[in-house]
Structure 1
Amino acid sequence: MVDFTLKDHYTVQDLVDIVRVLRAPGGCQWDAQQTHESIRRNFLEEAYEVAEAIDQNSTEHLQEELGDVLLQVVFHTSIEEDAGHFHLDDVADGVCKKLIFRHPHVFGDVTVSSTGEILANWEELKKKEKGQATQADAVDAVARSLPALWRAEKVQKKAAKVGFDWDSVDGAVDKLSEELDEVKEAISGHGDPAEELGDLLFAAVNVSRFLKVDPEDALQAACDKFAARFRRVEEEVTAQGKQMEEMSLSELDAIWNAIKHPDTH
């Protein structure tokens, strides 16, 4: 039995102590073997589960998932503490200094009149803080680990800040159509399909940005819509006493269209 006092209510410091016990000799062999790389995906999954709790508007679920994210923060920090690099207070110190530096209108003598000015100042201070001398540096600094749709959106927003952007959504839509034509050409043997598909998706994100639509949310909604309609197609096929594998694509497509446009049937 390890030397640890059980309580009715624990604090952040208790979490730090528990992780230390788990990773120490005599603790948990699995925890002791983990590295930043081995639990990298865990961190991402926990962050997405926080997002799911927010979408569900569930306070109880959110509290639980935030705890899982906090565990990841403490765990990664514990690895670095054992290596003699930094501890949790250093992590807190860094983010506190960052917040103070990026809020001169709160902690300094800068005056702002709108949230737009606040965000503009934030971006400039962020560039200064990270040593980004050019806007290209800012574009390059967008994390490659982001979901590709979000990365594309952030890259485009960075470029737009210096005027490298369409005047309106019309230009973005025209570009989307152009990229679709290039995909068709690539399929017929004139170009790299993967490259052209990437350009098409990038152009689609540009359109979503002009429409102020989160591209990730839009695609998730499309996935949900497809899944719901697919289920209804399968249910209709089953009601006819058949199996989907037995039916032709045209027959399935007819059912799909009937579900998609019920008023026309």
Structure 2
Amino acid sequence: MANGREELGILKYETGGSSPKHHKNQRDPTSMENATAMLGPKRLIKKHEFVRIIIQCLHSLGYKNSASCLESESGISHKSPESKLLEMQVLNANWEDSIGILNGIEDLTEETRASALFLVLQQCLLECLSRGDDSSALAILRKRVSPLKVGREKVHNLAAGMLSLKEMGMAKIDDSSICELRRKSLVELEKLLPPPITLPEGRLEHFVETAITAQMDSCIYHNSFREISLYEDHYCGRDQIPTQTVQDKIMEV
């Protein structure tokens, strides 16, 4: 892990700065085919997007081996190159490169970029405190975090939290906890970044539930309490509409 002074090198990156240049890999024929192939009777579904969300779903269900096999066979990864690179840099505490990657993503709004940079700098600051490098942590807070347009309250809360950790003697964090915090920061970063860089969580499940809900809403005679099946389109026939009413008779005494 880099020392505090080396990690402070992230300060040379401005919020709107440029990222390190990376060479683009030449696309193989399989990738080119996946990028243009369309699926479905109406040819509305992009094959590479469809496969990508299937792989994401397999990962979320715990079928890691199946997801890896599908990635290998299709030549499609559920994580974009930018997402993979950012993951590697964050998990390895390469904060300078992490910020460079975020600054190099063109389609981010300034608000999203600032929020993403805040997450990276917050983790860097926390690790500086954990090593006892208070001067670097303070420099990051003053020179990099404060200018970010994330709201004064957010910056003040970070500063207050930093001070509280020091006062309570809780700034020191063990290596396993540091790794877990990096992963949590990465998850929050992925939630901020837009498609196609990252995929919204549970994308395939969302599509299926949306389709089921639409079928139920368009069902003219919907009066069924039976479980909905994915094996067939939902439909209630007229025979399921009640034709008789049952009224309680009031007995007069």
Give the TM-score normalised by structure 2. 0.29
Q: Could you say which structure has the greater relative contact order, defined with CA pairs below 8 angstroms and 6 or more residues apart?
A: 2
- TM-score, L = length of structure 1: 0.28
